[in-house]
Amino acid sequence: MMEADILIENCSEIHTLKGPDRPRRGDEMQDTSKIKNGALAVKGESILAVGSDKEIKRDVEAEKIIDASGKTVIPGFVDPHTHLIYSGSREDELAMKIQGKTYMEILEEGGGILRTVRATRKASKQRLLEESKARMDRMLAHGTTTAEAKSGYGLDKKNEIKCLEVIDELDKSHDLDLIPTYLGAHSLPPEFERSEDYIDYCIEDVLPEIADKDLAEYCDVFCEKGVFDVEESRRLLKKAKQFGLKARVHADEIENIGCSKMAAELDAISAEHLVKTDEEDIIMMAESGTIGILLPGTPFMLMEEKYAPARQMIENGMAIALATDLNPNCWTESMQMVITLACLQMKMTPSEALTAATFNSARALDRPDIGSLEKGKKADFLVLDIPNIDHLPYRFGVNLVEKVYKRGEKV
Ligand code: NIG
Ligand code: FE
């Protein structure tokens, strides 16, 4: 008999996502390694055993037994693209967008990112902590157990470091784990006239200090027409690599200027957004191993018709993950909502979307110990109040998460 702390029994379905330890592609995305009538045992912070209810009950004795009849168990969601740290909101810009203004027009008029930069620079560390923590509480309640968090609303050294320090404090004090990304190249700050000069500043002044203080694992750049071009982006990401920061890229969001190709050439861990990505880019990313992170909440909030070509990516064997893009332009903490949009707008199946929101998103953050429910992996999992996974995109706009377990503890 094995001794467990917790046994979750009589589960209608467990989607373990068990399988080879590399991003899932093509048909593999459809296979979530489902167990019908399953049970899951937890010991300490890890998974002790998972299998059929009969098997597990025969082999495991537990201190605490939880009945999950009619419920579905899945790994905790991993959200690999968020702009978690910001102050304020921009709800009035949604009203403008409804009346026909575009995102880029609002940005050019000093709204958008730069407006949030002003608010974030003004905010004290304490205030940023409080505003961001409220979002983390909602993320966790909606089933996200690990998330990436980008800086990028400070832009200058002092404020970017302030934001990254906030990420570090929140990671240490909150149940939700955060993985920090330096996104200094999110927008040209008002104190610079030329983007190449600002990139020099990021490379010479900011990156060394971030690396020295070990404040970021990744470096990201908003590679976009009118923001930072391919050459500037490549220059920054190459330097970041020398400082030990791995590359990820905002690519092909509004226009395709060759950013996802550059991401593939650089062997970036991920290229993110990819709304305007074409087949040639897809083939390059599939070959390089760069994971595509799709953010269907963004075109949804921009009221655009076009979404990332997820089907074409899956058919070409490119690994894809899903994320919220949580930011003042696309304010959602819910990976469940993202799954609904992925299925309805990008025609992903519920199983593919689940793979993309758990296993593949963990790989897009280089975290092999999460994203699947297997012996020895971290016990980060959700009990959903639904009898099967097809309910996940189907019952939209409400929270289907009944229980969240982080490192073996109910939170
Ligand atoms: O990923 N595209 C750049 N950055 C964010 C939006 C940031 C903002 O509007 O504040 C994004 O969509
Ligand atoms: Fe983003």
CATH at residue 394: 2.30.40.10
Looking at the structure, tell me whether residues 55 and 108 fall in a common domain. Answer: no
| Minimum-distance ligand 1 atom for the alpha carbon of 224 | 2
Q: How many domains does the chain have?
A: 2
Please compute, for residue 99, the number of CA atoms within 13 A of its CA located in the half-sphere on the CB side.
6
Contacts of residue 118, defined as CB under 8 A and 6 or more positions apart, other chains included, come to none
Asked whether residue 306 carries a pLDDT value surpassing 90, the answer given is yes
Q: Are residues 113 and 30 in the same domain?
A: no
Do residues 130 and 208 both lie within one domain? yes
Name the residue type at position 223.
C
Question: Is the CB of 113 within 6 Å of ligand 1?
Answer: yes
> Ligand 1, from 93, 302, 325, 326: best to mutate by most atoms within 8 Å of Cβ?
325
pLDDT digits (tens, 9 = 90+) for 1-53: 899 999 999 999 999 999 999 999 999 999 999 999 999 999 999 999 999 99
69 and 189 assigned to the same domain? no
pLDDT computed for residue 110 by the predictor: 83
Q: Which of 326, 343, 363 is the last residue of a domain?
A: 363
Q: What are phi and psi of 397, to 5 degrees?
A: 80, 5
Tell me whether strands 381-384 and 401-406 are parallel, antiparallel or unpaired: antiparallel
- Reference 340, options 406, 281, 410, 395; nearest CA is 395
Same domain, 329 and 385: no
Residue 221 maps to which CATH number? Answer: 3.20.20.140
Is pLDDT of 360 > 90? Answer: yes
Q: Tell me how far CA of residue 350 lies from CA of 43, 175, 406, in angstroms.
A: 30, 27, 23
Domain that holds residue 29: 2-76+372-410
Give pTM, 2 decimals. Answer: 0.97
Same domain, 272 and 325: yes
- Strands, E assignment, 16-59: 34-43, 46-52
134/61 same-domain check: no
- The structure tokens 């149940």 sit at 175
* Ligand 1 contact via 150 beta carbon (within 6 Å): no
- Model pLDDT, residue 403: 98
On whether both 334 and 393 belong to a single domain, the answer is no
Rounded to the nearest angstrom, the distance between the alpha carbon of 126 and the centre of ligand 2 is 24
Residue 16, both tokens: 């373990």
- Shared domain for 255 and 230, answered yes or no, is yes
Check whether residue 180 and residue 94 sit in a common domain. yes
Instruction: Tell me the pLDDT of the chain averaged across its residues.
Output: 97
277 with 311, same domain: the answer is yes
Condensed to tens digits (0 to 9), the pLDDT of residues 372-390 reads: 999 999 999 999 999 999 9
User: Do 342 and 404 have their domain in common?
Assistant: no
